[in-house]
Amino acid sequence: MKRKPTRDTLREAGKTLHDDVAPLLAGAGFQLQILRMDHPEAASQIDETLATLEDAMDRVRKLSQQLAPSPFTPKGS
């Protein structure tokens, strides 16, 4: 029988996404931007990858906010 996750478990998952996963994705984005500067001939491929990475970061951000809403964010935002 599957157990429904507790509010604390969901909050912890959201915190992990925000504190651990999001910074890793952001770091990968910075590395890609540096790579683009060093290899301008690959800019279009790197830009496509950056767009995909930005989409992933947006999804992580939204999921993190749903699981562990900031106390500073008004409800309904």
**3 state SS for 39-67:** CHHHHHHHHHHHHHHHHHHHHHHHHHHHH
Whether 18 is covered by a domain: the verdict is no
Question: Per the domain annotation, does 49 fall within a domain?
Answer: yes
Within-domain flag for 46: yes
The answer to whether position 20 is within a domain reads: no
Instruction: Give the pLDDT of the chain (77 residues) as one tens digit per residue.
Output: 788 889 999 999 999 999 999 999 999 999 999 999 999 999 999 999 999 999 999 999 999 999 988 776 666 55
CA 45 to chain centre: 21
**Domain extent at residue 49:** 25-67
Helix (H, G, I), strand (E, B) or coil at 29: helix
What integer pLDDT is reported at residue 77 of this predicted model?
A: 52
- The answer to whether residue 63 sits within a structural domain is yes
* pLDDT score at 76: 52
The number of folded domains in the chain is: 1
Q: What pLDDT is attached to residue 29?
A: 97
Per-residue pLDDT at 3: 85
With respect to residue 37, please indicate whether it lies within any of the assigned structural domains. Answer: yes
